[in-house]
Amino acid sequence: MTVQAADKTASLTEQDVARIREDFPILSVTTSSGHPLNYLDNSATSQKPRHVIDATSEYYSGKNANVHRGVHHLSELATKAYEDARLKAQHHINAPLGCEVIFTKGTTEAINLVSHSYVRAKLKAGDEILVSAMEHHANIVPWQLACEVTGATIKVAPIDDNGDIIVEEFEALLSEKTKFVGLNFVSNALGTINPVKELIAMAHKHGAVVLLDAAQAMPHCRIDVLDLDCDFLACSAHKMYGPTGTGFLYGKAGILKDMPPFLGGGDMIERVSFEKSTYNSLPYRFEAGTPNIAGVVGFGAAFDYVDSIGLDRIAAYEDELLEYGTGLLNEIPGVRIIGNARKKISVISFVMDAAHPHDIGQILNDQGIAVRAGHHCAQPLMDRFGVPATARASFTFYNTKSELDALADGIRKVNEVFA
Pick from 148, 80, 97, 100: nearest CA to 120: 148
Pick from 21, 11, 92: nearest CA to 313: 11
Backbone angles phi, psi at 193, to 5 degrees: -95, 115
Is residue 230 flagged as an active site residue? no
Distance (Å, whole) CA 319 – CA 325: 10
Pairing verdict, β 277-279 and 335-338: unpaired
> Going by C-beta distance under 8 Å and a sequence separation of 6 or more, which residues neighbour residue 384?
133, 134, 158, 159
Distance (Å, whole) CA 370 – CA 282: 41
> Going by C-beta distance under 8 Å and a sequence separation of 6 or more, which residues neighbour residue 72?
65
Backbone angles phi, psi at 212, to 5 degrees: -105, 125
> Going by C-beta distance under 8 Å and a sequence separation of 6 or more, which residues neighbour residue 23?
1, 2, 49, 50, 51, 305, 398
Backbone angles phi, psi at 100, to 5 degrees: -85, -5
Distance (Å, whole) CA 267 – CA 289: 6
Backbone angles phi, psi at 147, to 5 degrees: -70, -35
Distance (Å, whole) CA 235 – CA 213: 7
- CB of 339 closer than 8 Å to CB of 189: yes
- CB of 37 closer than 8 Å to CB of 14: no
Q: Which amino acid is at 220?
A: H
- CB of 392 closer than 8 Å to CB of 39: no
Q: Is the dihedral of CA 5, 47, 339, 411 positive or negative?
A: positive
Grouping H, G, I as helix, E, B as strand and the rest as coil, residue 164 is coil
Backbone torsion region of residue 30, taken as left when φ is above 0, otherwise alpha when ψ lies between -120 and 50, otherwise beta: beta
Active site residues: 377
